[in-house]
Structures are given as C-alpha cells and as structure tokens.
Chains A and B, each alone.
Chain A
C-alpha cells in the first residue's frame, strides 16, 4: 500500500515538475478545479480530461470543445495536456496523477495507442468511466490492462484521407502527386496517407512520399525539393494543415499556384482562410471541438445511467473554395449537419 502511495506521489511530482519546466504553458490553461476537495456531490459527473499537446492548435480547439460541452452539462472539468505532441511519458504521468483523484469520468486522448495504459488500468480497477476520444487506445493493450473504454469518439483518419484522395482525383483527373507526411512512423499520418492512397483512381499515382515532421518550415523545404524532382507534379496531399500551408508557400515560390493542387487535413482557421483565398486547394476538416464536446457529453450520459454506443464517428467535411466562407463562419464547429448519438441520449 505504502509503495503505491509513494509511486503516486512521485508521479504527481513528476507531472508538477514537467509543468514548471514548460513554464506552465500546458498547465496554466487547465481549469482551476483540480483539487479533489472542491468536489460537489450534487453534480452529475466529475470529469477529468487528458489530451495531447497544446502546442498544436488542433488540441487547443479540442480543449475549447471540452469546456463548451462541460458548461452546457453544468460540469467543471479538469483538463490536463501533454507538453508536446511527442511527450508520451509526460502525458502518462498526468493521467496517473489524476487517476488517484475522485473524478467519476476520464476523457482521454492518448498520444500513442499504448502510452496511457498504466493509468487506464488504474482507472478500470477503480471502476471509473473511460471515454476515449480522437486517438484510439490500442485494443489489445486495453484488454491486457482490463480497461476497455466505455466509448470511442473520433474521426476515422483513413476516411478523412480517402476524402482527400477522392477530391484530388476530381481536381486533376490524372497525373503524378506527392505526399508530405508528419513524423516518419507516426500513426495518424500513416492512416491519413493510407486513406488518401486508397481514395485515388488508377490514373493518379503517388510518385513520392516524404516526412516533414509536422513542421511548416520543413514541409516548405521538402516540397520545394519534390517539385524539383518531379517537374510534372500535379498535386500534394499533406497530412496536416500547418505543413500544407508551408507546401502552399513552396508552390507559390515555384510560380505554380493553381497548376499544383495542395490538399491539407485538419481544417484549422488559417487553412480555411487560405482555401478561401485560393492558396490551399482544399482541406479535410476534422472537428476537434465537436470531439471534445461529445467526450464530455458522453461522461454526462454515463453518469445519468445511459448506455454509450461503443463507437461514435465524429464529423469529417471536405472544405473547398465554394464552401470556405461557410466553414470559416462555423469554425470551430462543423458547417454541415452531423449525427450526434450522444447528445440524443441526453435529450
């Protein structure tokens, strides 16, 4: 018993230290109600969320969604985020630290399929509700830990990539395209690219795939080189919008705007503006805001005794120039209609 308390203490300390080191960047934005003492038994659910790094606008929007969903449900959530999108152990420490507190429901968005397993096992042992959002916890690992999330809410990255692939075919009908991925070996990037390739027709061929580490400057450099290597290139598929904007710059520098199509993924505001202005050809918008919102709704539904659906597909939309205005107005929410089975449960 004593050993486990001290481990918990170390984990908490670790989390605190990591926060201090990052100059409170991640922790400063978390909600104030982190102390277990502030609990109010009248509230339906006490929610803690552990999401990915807030250095990426995608996850900031997710945080906003969690807060919005929570305020509608009358919940005061505690939100913790990893220091960066690669901070797998730091994220695990944060979940472990929160696992010891008296939250009833945990919303988790793991950086990898397995990095949060330790904390999840602890949650399962304490019979807490686990809501998995955005990136799935690997099934085998979850089973081994005895922690099966009550529901998974997220976007199918393969489907998102496929939408991009189909749009690319529509844009260029035939020819050579290149793919700019995130960090080599990254799961999200891999799935999007896999989807993209599957969405292509036989007359559109991927001639090269390069990694730009989710970095705009690197994407610019790599795209410049790829344009040089393949002068007949007709288009780029880019695994996220930040990089896509770098690729747009490379295409502009080469004087090929319009001739070389660039399709991004995520649908961040800067990218939507670029689509509107004719820089980026299209982007596949995923809605982290909605994912976050649904995550908290799921907690509220579980606390109300409802049975959650095992999988909920969050909306994905293709944004081209003709709908860019609409998308910009609605951002961070989807501009079209979408199904929200969890909100239906709460009605």
Chain B
C-alpha cells in the first residue's frame, strides 16, 4: 500500500530504443544530460582546452558545492516545498566554522559545528513549516535573512582567514581527475539516491510531495517528513559550508544570493517537478554540472560578462519548456 503516485526515475527500457528516442518524454527526463552533452560539444568545438584534463578537473571541483546544495534542495522540492535559505545557511555554517577555528577548536570539532549549525537551522525551518503551518516559501525566506544576519553578527562582518593544511589538501587534491570535494559530492549523491529510492523514508518523501492528502490517509506523517527533508537540506548546507571554507581558505559572511537561485535552477534542469512527488538525484547533479559548465565554457571562450547571466537564463527556461513533455 505504498503510494502509487510515486514516479520512478526513467523506466526500464521496455519499448524499442528508436521509439523511445522519438518520444519527447524521454528527452524531457534527460534534459540536463542532453544539455551537458550539447554544451560540451559546443564549447569543445570553440576552444580545445575545454575538455583538457585540468579544465575538467577544475569544473568538477567548482561544481561540488552546488551539487551538494542542489541535492538538499531536491529533497525539499520533492515534497512540494522549497528551501530559499540554503546559501545563507551555508554562509552561516562557514562563519560558525571560522569562529570556532579562531577560538582554537580542533578542526574536526569546527566541522561538526558547521554541520550541526546547518542541521539546527534546517530542523527549525522544517518545524516552523510543519508545526507552525507556515508556507515553505515564507519560512525559508525569513531564515534566508536570519541566517545571513547571524553570519554577519558572528563574524563581525569580516572574513576570517582559515589556514589549515588538511583543508587545503582536501580542496586542491584528489584521485586523478576527481578532486576530493567532487568525490564527496558523488558519495553524497549515491547515498541520497539510495535513501530516496530504496528506503521507506524516500518513498514517504515522494508520496508526501505527490499527494499529501493520500499520503496522510495511508498513515504517513507529512509533518515529520517535512521536518526531515529540511533537516537534510540544512545538514547538506552545513557540509557545503565546510567545503566553502576549504575552497577559499577563509570564512566570509558576505551573502551569496545567486547560489540559492542556482540550486533551484539545477533542480529544475534535473527534471524535478516543482510541484513535488517526482524527483531524481542524478538529474539535479547533472543540472548543477550544466550550470557550472556553462559559466566555465562561456568564460573560456571569452564571451562578455554581460551575456553570461542571459545564457544561464535561456538554458534554464529551455529546460523547463522541455519538461512540459514529461509524462
């Protein structure tokens, strides 16, 4: 009696391949992958360094934070919600890290603090939404502001330099083509994929998003699911905070609002329905890669900075348009 509204990721290959390729729904499901391949071909044709070892390596590292945040965002959007506070919570977690570091805490403790900061923020978001019955949009819009304010207060508005050989290695080394931060993002993607599709919790998340009434009727506590998904998003934002500190070697309270919008764009590109009930993990991961590749490629090719936001906008809207053909 698990929810039947759940939409699995691309169905097993039943009809003939040629037939599937002619079906717009197939393209809609894989919009992000199609986009990624298309962009790769275009950029490689325009500049041969695009697919060079070093460039691919730096694209993957640059995408790590966005991938992790987008995965968190996927969980909230899968329940029909949205977490507008992800980037601010990440900034706040990074500042908590920086604060602890200057207080002389051991590195592992600083990391734990960052994750716990994200967890608490996420749990509060979820509780306000579920128990307080306030729309997701409103609650997370509020915590967007609250988190960035807290970050400024905690850091006294100034960036803190964090010098740590471990973090430096973590952000600059890796296994071959794959930096450690990217590998961490992949591990998180695999874990969350299993959670979403192979556990009862995952099924409940999609059920609660697909049809809250039906889910409640079958005995699923949508309130608990809401709290859980925002906590997941918060934890991942906290984790991203650590990655951010590692990446720039400092914790800065300066807000980055475009990052939140990029997570939503990545999720949309990934074919996740904003109405909830239908989600994949691989989609948003590819979506995040598309957005990173787009900026990298445009810069590499030397497209004027004024055209870059325009290009991102066009890609996102095209992907959304393509998704109308989803079944």
A184 touches B47 (CB 8 A): no
Q: A55-B255, A217-B244 are in contact. Are A229 and B300 (CB under 8 A)?
A: yes
| B159 CB-CB contact with A under 8 Å | yes
Distance to closest chain B CB from A193 (angstroms)? 11
Q: A22-B148, A216-B159, A225-B300 are in contact. Are A28 and B153 (CB under 8 A)?
A: yes
Q: B residues within 8 A CB of A23?
A: 145-146, 149-150, 152-153
Q: B residues within 8 A CB of A25?
A: 148-149, 152-153, 157
Cβ contacts B121-154/A at 8 Å (1 or 0 each): 0000000000000000000001001101110110
- Name the CB-closest residue of A to B305: A211
| B226 CB-CB contact with A under 8 Å | no
B172 touches A253 (CB 8 A): yes
B58 touches A224 (CB 8 A): yes
A216 touches B62 (CB 8 A): no
B149 touches A225 (CB 8 A): no
Q: A57-B157, A60-B157, A242-B254 are in contact. Are A211 and B308 (CB under 8 A)?
A: yes
A217 touches B152 (CB 8 A): no
Distance to closest chain B CB from A4 (angstroms)? 30
Q: A84-B255, A211-B305, A228-B300 are in contact. Are A216 and B152 (CB under 8 A)?
A: no
A181 touches B305 (CB 8 A): yes
Q: A184-B305, A228-B58 are in contact. Are A222 and B252 (CB under 8 A)?
A: no
Q: B residues within 8 A CB of A221?
A: 58, 62, 295-296
Cβ contacts B151-166/A at 8 Å (1 or 0 each): 0110011110100000
Question: Which of B52, B149, B153, B161 touches A228 (beta carbons < 8 Å)?
Answer: B52
Question: Which of B149, B161, B301, B309 touches A270 (beta carbons < 8 Å)?
Answer: B161
Q: A residues within 8 A CB of B172?
A: 253
| A245 CB-CB contact with B under 8 Å | yes
B contact face: mostly helix, strand, loop, or mixed: helix
Distance to closest chain A CB from B34 (angstroms)? 23
B305 touches A24 (CB 8 A): no
- Name the CB-closest residue of B to A61: B158
Q: A23-B153, A57-B159, A228-B55 are in contact. Are A217 and B248 (CB under 8 A)?
A: yes
> Which of A55, A84, A226, A273 has the most chain B CB within a 10 Å cutoff?
A55
Question: Which of B148, B252, B299, B309 touches A216 (beta carbons < 8 Å)?
Answer: B252
Distance to closest chain A CB from B253 (angstroms)? 6
Distance to closest chain B CB from A83 (angstroms)? 8
| B49 CB-CB contact with A under 8 Å | yes
Q: B residues within 8 A CB of A181?
A: 305
> Which of B47, B299, B308 has the most chain A CB within a 10 Å cutoff?
B299
| A208 CB-CB contact with B under 8 Å | yes
- Name the CB-closest residue of B to A214: B254
Q: CA of A22 to CA of B158 in the docked complex: distance in angstroms? A: 16
B305 touches A220 (CB 8 A): no
A184 touches B248 (CB 8 A): no
- Name the CB-closest residue of B to A211: B305
Q: B residues within 8 A CB of A234?
A: none
Cβ contacts B252-282/A at 8 Å (1 or 0 each): 1111101000000000000000000000000
Q: CA of A253 to CA of B246 in the docked complex: distance in angstroms? A: 13
Cβ contacts B284-327/A at 8 Å (1 or 0 each): 00000000000110011110111011000000000000000000
Q: B residues within 8 A CB of A229?
A: 47, 49, 299-302
Q: B residues within 8 A CB of A208?
A: 299, 302
Q: CA of A215 to CA of B149 in the docked complex: distance in angstroms? A: 17
| B247 CB-CB contact with A under 8 Å | yes
Cβ contacts A150-185/B at 8 Å (1 or 0 each): 000000000000000000000000000000010011
Given A23-B153, A60-B157, A229-B301, 11 extra CB contacts under 8 A? A21-B146, A22-B152, A26-B152, A55-B152, A55-B157, A208-B299, A218-B256, A221-B62, A228-B54, A229-B299, A249-B247
Listed by A's residue number, 10 A-B pairs whose Cβ atoms lie within 8 Å are A23-B149, A28-B153, A54-B157, A57-B157, A184-B308, A210-B299, A221-B62, A228-B300, A242-B254, A273-B161
Which chain B residues have a beta carbon within 8 Å of chain A's beta carbons?
47, 49, 52, 54-55, 58, 62, 65, 142, 145-146, 148-150, 152-153, 156-159, 161, 172, 244, 247-250, 252-256, 258, 295-296, 299-302, 304-306, 308-309
